[in-house]
Amino acid sequence: MSWLVGTGQELFGSGGGEALAREIEAPLLARIPFDPALRESADAGRPVLEAAPESEAATAIRELADSVRSRRPGGIRKALTVL
């Protein structure tokens, strides 16, 4: 999760996802906002893409899906370190 919808406030700071992606040599696929529409749809058991298709969260999730879809199959092959 990233910024709070409507305020742009970074609740957990910023840049952590980008730094981790660089560290593990993997692409950062998306930044998903904290969006009340996401919480409300999840509480109701409905996907936010169906319940609130124009919300910022739904838009970010669609962009994530497009990003994953555009990568060639098997293109991400970086093993993650188990601590």
pTM: 0.72
Task: Compute the average pLDDT of residues 14-27.
Answer: 88
Number of domains within the chain: 1
Predicted pLDDT at 71: 77
Q: What is the pLDDT of residue 78?
A: 67
- What secondary structure letter does DSSP report for 5? T
* Tally of helices (H runs) and strands (E runs) in the chain: 4, 0
**21 within domain boundaries:** yes
What are the structure tokens assigned to 48, written together?
A: 């936010």
Angle between helices 36-43 and 56-70 (to 10 degrees): 90
Q: Name the phi and psi angles at 57, rounded to 5.
A: -65, -45
Query: What residue numbers bound the domain in which 41 lies?
Result: 16-69
Residue 44 lies in a domain: yes
Let me know if residue 56 belongs to a domain.
yes
Mean pLDDT, rounded, for 1-9: 81
Q: Is the model's pLDDT at 27 over the cut of 70?
A: yes
Residue 55's pLDDT is: 93
